[in-house]
Chains A and B, each alone.
Chain A
Amino acid sequence: MALTGMVRGGNAVSLGLVIFSCGSLAYGVWSLAEPVELWALFWLVSGGLGLAAANDREQSFAAR
């Protein structure tokens, strides 16, 4: 119910970005144990960008 409310409120993109960042960061940290860290760094940067985008959106909406 709350999730549909957030989707109706236009919060779906931010919520999706946070969920994406959760998975991306977790997979990135997990992959750092593998021999080649290139893809781990890719997913870590993706998680960081996702969080930055969600933060940017929420700060912008809160300021209005």
Chain B
Amino acid sequence: MVDSGAPGGELDGLGGARHARPFELGGVATILLPGVYAWGATVAWPAFAVPGSSPVARLAAVVAAALLFAGPLVARRHLRSGRALGVLGFVGASAAAWGALDAAIRPPQLDTVRAALGGLAWGFFALGWGTFPGRTRLPEEDPHAVLTGRLSPRARLPRGVSIGFAGLLATALALPMLAWRVQRPGVALLAQAVALAGAVALLGIGSRVLLAPKGPPRVNAPRLWLALLIAWLSLGALLWLL
């Protein structure tokens, strides 16, 4: 099975162009739908609906909207340039609008529900760009595709690995939830940042450890970080006892 990450311009010679359009439109929609909502809720609303907002903020909001639409359109032929416009340009222009708005987007002025939904839309916007252009042709039409039915996997993950991964995922999800307990402004931001970084690191490193192949007992393992951890824990135990 072949899943192409190539932009639409490379499809014509493969005979998949007639199927490319729906896939391309789907990819564009996964960017534009959340992008438009994110722009509307978090950029356009404070820039245009709040009385007395800066003209610079309004100009930056319009530029952000233009870049939001231009990015996917350019990316259909020139992926890197389109991504630069659609991601960096859109986010940069939105950030310029937020900077020019200044007091209008301070927490007391924010509508928390709109801000939360806008944040969610920003997440979907990022995911949309992450998968763009995605599948741009039917895998069965690729000349190298194997069409003799399903291929059985050579191995299955043991049940213990699945259980371990479920625990890892639960912890990674629990960390940002726990961070919401923290109320004090500066510490709350630290808690959110640490929880997010910890969740990402746990998922990445933990899944690698869980999926590591079995082998002979491992000798000569690196010990620098382990030694630092033991020293750090010993220091903590000493301070606790004193």
Contact = CB atoms under 8 A, between A and B. Distances in A.
Mutual binders A and B:
yes
Interface of A: 1-3, 5-6, 8-11, 13-15, 17-18, 21-22, 25-26, 28-30, 32-33, 37, 42, 44-58, 60-62
A46 B194 contact: no
Interface stretch (B25-33, B124-132, B174-182): B174-182
B16 interface: no
A29 B195 CA distance: 7
Contacts of A6: 160, 210, 212, 214
B158 interface: yes
Given A15-B209, A26-B178, A49-B232, A60 B222 contact: yes
Given A26-B174, A29-B175, A46 B233 contact: yes
A9 B225 contact: no
Interface stretch (B1-9, B61-69, B102-110, B198-206): B198-206
B205 A54 contact: yes
A60 B183 CA distance: 41
A30 to B, nearest CB: 5
9 contacts: A25-B171, A25-B194, A46-B236, A47-B198, A48-B198, A51-B198, A54-B205, A56-B224, A62-B208
Contacts of A62: 208, 212
Nearest to B219: A10
B33 to A, nearest CB: 33
Contact of B181 (A5, A30, A45, A53): A30
Q: Is the interface of A mostly helix, strand, loop or mixed?
A: helix
Interface in B182-241: 182-183, 187, 190-191, 194-195, 198, 201-202, 205-206, 208-210, 212-218, 221-222, 224-226, 228-229, 232-233, 236
A10 B160 CA distance: 16
A28 B198 CA distance: 11
Contact of A61 (B161, B179, B205, B218): B218
Given A45-B232, A61-B218, A14 B179 contact: no
A54 B212 CA distance: 12
Contacts of B174: 26
Contact of A18 (B158, B182, B183, B209): B209
Given A6-B212, A29-B194, A33-B183, A58 B205 contact: yes
Contacts of B210: 6, 15
A46 B228 CA distance: 9
A25 B198 contact: yes
A52 B225 contact: yes
B168 interface: yes
Contact of A42 (B201, B225, B236): B236
B225 A49 contact: yes
B180 to A, nearest CB: 9
